Amino acid sequence: MTGKRSYEDACAASHALDLVGERWALLVARELVLGPKRFSDLRSGLPGISPNVLTQRLQEMEQASILKRRKLAPPAGGWVYELTDWGRGLEDVIMALGRWGVRSPQLPIGPAISVDGLVLSFRTMFDSKAAAGFKAALELHFGDDVFHAEVAGPRFNIERGAARRADVSVEVDPNLLAGLTYGGVDLAATLRSGALPLTGDKAVFKRFLTLFPMPAPAPSTVVALVPVEKAAKKAA
């Protein structure tokens, strides 16, 4: 971490910010929580980051023992980045930030979300009460990226890889699935449009979308400004 500015504060939280407080650092960690990735995969998940900045963050996080580089065995070859055992503890931090940030009165609606970001949002927002009495296995295809999800009442797990069995399998863009889950996009209309190839039990998928309710936003402290001319008329 040579050359980086430090808060020079003995608090462990301050030291943590020295390690992952730089722009993009926590999002790099987010993209590695679900497993190792190549440099090109990280660029795909973080399209807004430049190659130079990504290289710098990876080097800094490797020096801090948050992640490590590993050579893949033949025939795959190449290098991947993965979190260390200690670095994987950032999943709890990222999920806690997600639970806090989702209540922001200024939460942006509409920007793209990465596959891994969406999957981690499911882990973060899962509501065991909403899943009462529900048991199902799903397979989610995001292009070549495949995840399997299992719900058994209060227990929920979602991991990269194909399902051993699936009640429903769906091919979907992560932004569309985010809209169906969190954005009020109509499922029936989407299915009729053909934009959501689905095999299996549609009712299972419909119930799955209800397991991640958004909490109410925190009260806004922003005071709406009244234009001067309107204020003058009201005073008159």
Domain with CATH 1.10.10.10 in the chain: 12-93
Per-residue pLDDT of the chain (236 residues; tens, 9 = 90+): 555 788 889 899 999 999 999 999 999 999 999 999 999 999 999 999 999 999 999 999 999 999 999 998 888 789 999 999 999 999 999 999 999 999 999 998 877 999 999 999 999 999 999 999 999 999 999 999 999 999 999 999 999 999 999 999 999 999 999 999 999 999 999 999 999 999 999 999 999 999 999 999 999 998 766 665 665 565 55
CA distances from 70 to 33, 73, 74, 81 (A): 16, 9, 13, 6
Q: Would you state the pLDDT for residue 233?
A: 60
CA distances from 95 to 40, 62, 136, 197, 214 (A): 24, 22, 24, 30, 14
Q: Would you state the pLDDT for residue 3?
A: 59
Q: Is the peptide bond before 197 cis (omega within 30 degrees of 0)?
A: no
Domain with CATH 3.30.1050.10 in the chain: 102-208
Q: Would you state the pLDDT for residue 138?
A: 98
Residue range 102-208 forms a domain whose CATH class is: alpha beta
Q: Would you state the pLDDT for residue 109?
A: 81
Residues forming beta bridges with residue 169, ordered by sequence position: 139, 199
| Residue found by looking up tokens 């799955």 in the block | 208
Q: Give the predicted TM-score (pTM) of the model.
A: 0.89
Looking at 3.40.50.10310, 3.30.980.10, 3.10.20.30, 1.10.10.10, the CATH number of the domain 12-93 comes to 1.10.10.10
